[in-house]
Structure 1
Amino acid sequence: MKLSIDPKLLAELVAWAARALPARPTAPALAGLLLEADAIDADSGRLTVSAFDYDMSARGSVSCADVAEPGRILLPGRMLAEVARALPTTSFADLAATDTEATIRCGKLDYKLLLLPADDYPTLPAPPEAAGTIDAAALAAAVAQVAPATSRDDTLPMLTGIRLDTDGDGEGDKLTLAATDRYRIAVTDTTWTPNTEGPLSALIPGRHLHDIAKGLGHGIISIGLNDKMVAFTSQDRQTTVRLLDEQFIDYRARVTYDATTTATVDAAQLAAAVKRVALVADRTTAIRLAFTDGEVTVRAGDEDGRGTEALECELKGDPIEIAFQSTYLGDALGAIDGQATIGMTGPVKPALFASEDGSHKQLVMALRVS
């Protein structure tokens, strides 16, 4: 292999693919990034970089200034990412490989990396057929809203996933994402363009989907789906993820109920007040919200210190005081832009936080406090 490439493009592509490298590779080859170079014509070519750990794969391509010798090599992934990030951007980078090592030269900077055995690298899975397309920014925003509600407890795989559902009536364009960690349920509706009729559903590992969403970039993304795998494909990048068991709670029924008391408040202002008041309390201390006509009072603290702040709000129903764990309350408010509607049925019953347009809902467990 021998090629020249813009070092900035190389660094961006390698960094993106390296996010799919396993933390604890089950085989030495899986710690590597696979580089494949092909010539398009006498003056240009393509470099493809891939990562795979059997649960997730990432494959991306970028244009090269010149591919003098096409080839396929496997390099230590994390080391390559560090090297690519360190390359100066004042000149093109030259990459050349022998049977045992690769040389990356950029200006007067020179690196030599030992090759891993490329023949030991597994074949990446073929992506499922495209089920529909979605705007990358819309998908990233929806994932960001529900991802905090995923659990980190791998002993209950269902709780670590983000559920993806479509309305499936053949005409609708609604895509729903949901997550729960038992203490809250987050649900977001967004729009997409389906290619097939009938309902679709999948349970995607939350940490993988969150990482994928952050690296989607801009433009239209194709979503491929079958009973084992989901694929996200842009113009020159593709990621596949193995699905979790499809079992999931009936989240729609749980985020639909009639509240006896409803408060409407600016989400950002209330989130900021919660953050300020919580400065005098530890992370396990409850944040109390006391709703009265025209005002909500935020309180937190113990014998070491107390904080109180009042904000304007609109209240329908009887006054109520309710308490939440600070992180859950902050996540629920942070997922909402503009006005938040908080539906409550009692001081120790879960409360439903909803955006003004109803596209995002989050059911949060209330704390029992004395």
Structure 2
Amino acid sequence: MDQTVSFTVPKDDLASALAWVARSLPSKPTQPILRGVLIDATDSGLVLSGFDREVSTRVKINAEVMETGSLLVAGKLASDIVGSLPNKPITMEYQGSTVLLTCGSSRFELPPMTIEDYPPLPDLPEVTGTIDPHLFQEAIGQVAIAAGKDDTLPMLTGIRMEIDGDNVVLAATDRFRLAVRTFTWNPSTADAQAELLIPARTLADTARSMGVHGSEPVSIAVGASGNIGREGLLGISTESRHTTTRLLDADFPKFRPLLPKTHTSMASVAIEPLQDAIRRVSLVADRNSQIRMNFEPGVLTLSAGGSDVGSAEEQLDCGFAGEPLTIAFNPTYLKEGLAAVHSQRVVFGFTQPSRPAILIPEQPDLPESDEEGNFPTPATEFTYLLMPVRLPG
């Protein structure tokens, strides 16, 4: 006799859960079965799962379950259908040959997928430590923007995580910029040590979801004691959601030597008016190629263009100390860096117009220069290092 499954669930809960699981599913899977979302209906509610053999996701939601059991349906289709439905309770019934989904006057029949062929999800490694979900979301978001998107360079598509007791350092780079964030967390053991390379897109999606959907601490699971990272698997979990992903087996570039310890000049600029000015001036930048910034005491002059599309110039107040300079940046990378700084003002540190500059959160005061006229890099939890664009001529 065919198994039957039947349950009723609030629309918003099911839509949110399906969207989260479906987002991790491959659009062109190596096996069609991996397009599926597995729905386990139990006496305590529903568990929705997805797995593409690299990333697994699992989420628990409350539901009124009339008949327990499991069913497998095409994930992205089910997510699209449920997301389009009115805000009314949704009932799903599976009777062996059809999955019937009803909501108000809407009715859909979906073909079930063969559940016996679905691969088992990996178990979470032992928990390595916990972190506040909002801090987790913020820190990952700040560095993920700098991660590379070219899969032929896998070492640049990841976020490096260095664990040293209760200190964590995150870093990502695409060769044109580097983002580094430090924070403290609650390790399971005080002597926890690890160096991991985690796929940036999966980590960013998971951190965003955990930060939005929960207030309880997020558990990071890569093993405990001497086994941290040995399984090659990262688990991230809260009470209701968990995900796993394979770690990247690649060597992340040595990034610390890239961070300058001193600067020949430093500037402090209010971020919001700077972002607005960049948006306006870059309208005439050739194919978004560069925006020029001329720094001198009290004044920052932005300019772009100069060819057939015209030119633009705008001035802003700025705090400045050191040697005046003109430097050019890719406006998209500059705007993304400014958005990641998370303070009202940004502090720039410069060495030469042809060398990378740093962007860090605002400081109470710009540092004093030493006897040689150099400014030490202030202590900061976040640094965005940005390569300049070559100035014409």
Report what 1:36 is aligned to. Answer: 40
Query: Are positions 1:195 and 2:195 aligned together?
Result: no
Which residue of 353, 362, 371 maps to 1:356? 362
1:218 aligns with 2:214: yes
1:290 counterpart residue number? 294
Counterpart-to-counterpart distance in 2, 1:122 and 1:284: 45
The residue that corresponds to 2:389 in the other structure is: 367
The residue number in structure 1 matching 2:337 is 332
Aligned counterpart, 2:322: 317
3-state secondary structure, aligned to 2:45: strand
Q: Does 1:204 align with 2:163?
A: no
C-alpha distance in structure 2 between counterparts of 1:300 and 1:315, whole Å: 22
Match of 1:86 in 2: 84
Distance in 1 between residues matched to 2:259 and 2:275, nearest whole Å:
21
Q: Note the alpha carbon deviations across 1:103-151, whole angstroms, 9 max, x for none.
A: 1122222111111000000000001111111111111111221112111
Which amino acid letter does the alignment assign opposite residue 201 of structure 2? Answer: R
**Which secondary structure does the structure 2 equivalent of 1:75 belong to?**
strand
- CA displacement at 1:269 relative to structure 2: 2.2
The answer (yes or no) to whether the contact 2:178–2:384 under 8 Å persists in 1 is yes
CA-based RMSD: 1.4
Task: State TM-score, norm by structure 1.
Answer: 0.93
Equivalent-residue separation in structure 2 for 1:350 and 1:109 (angstroms)? 57
Match of 1:126, SS state, is coil
For the 8 Å contact 1:135–1:218, the answer to whether it is kept is no
Provide the secondary structure at the position in 1 that maps to 2:262: coil
Cα offset, 1:82, TM superposition? 1.6
Q: Deviations over 1:229-288 (max 9, x none)?
A: 111101110011111025112222322421111111122322221111111223343211
Look up the SS of the partner of 1:149 in the other structure: coil
SS of 1:200's equivalent in the other structure is strand
2:131 paired with 1:129: no
Gaps of 5+ in 2: 223-228, 364-379
| Contact 1:283/1:326 (8 A) holds in 2 | no
Letter in 2 for 1:202: L
Helix, strand or coil at the partner of 1:335:
helix
Identity of aligned residues (%): 37
Contact 1:134 1:193 in 2 (8 A): yes
Q: Following TM superposition, by how much is the alpha carbon of 1:15 offset from its aligned partner in structure 2, in angstroms? A: 1.1
Write the letter of the residue equivalent to 1:111: F
Structure 1 unpaired stretches of 5+: 40-44
Alpha-carbon separation, structure 2, partners of 1:68 and 1:284: 57
Residues 1-370 of structure 1: matches in 2 within 5 Å? 1-39=5-43, 45-65=44-64, 67-90=65-88, 92-166=89-163, 168=164, 170=165, 173-196=166-189, 197-216=191-210, 217-219=213-215, 220-225=217-222, 226-227=229-230, 228-303=232-307, 304-336=309-341, 337-356=343-362, 358-369=380-391, 370=393
With the length of structure 2 as denominator, give the TM-score of the two structures. 0.88
State the Cα deviation string for residues 21-62 of structure 1 (Å, max 9, x = none): 1121111110110010111xxxxx311110100110000011
Number of aligned residue pairs: give it: 359
How many Å separate the matches in 1 of 2:62 and 2:389? 55
Q: Distance in 2 between matches of 1:190 and 1:51?
A: 31
CA distance in 2, matches of 1:205, 1:188: 17
> Retained in 2: the 8 A contact 1:351–1:365?
yes
Contact 2:282-2:288 within 8 A present in 1 as well: no
Query: Residues of 2 paired with 1:28 and 1:119: CA distance?
Result: 13
Shift of residue 345 of structure 1? 0.9
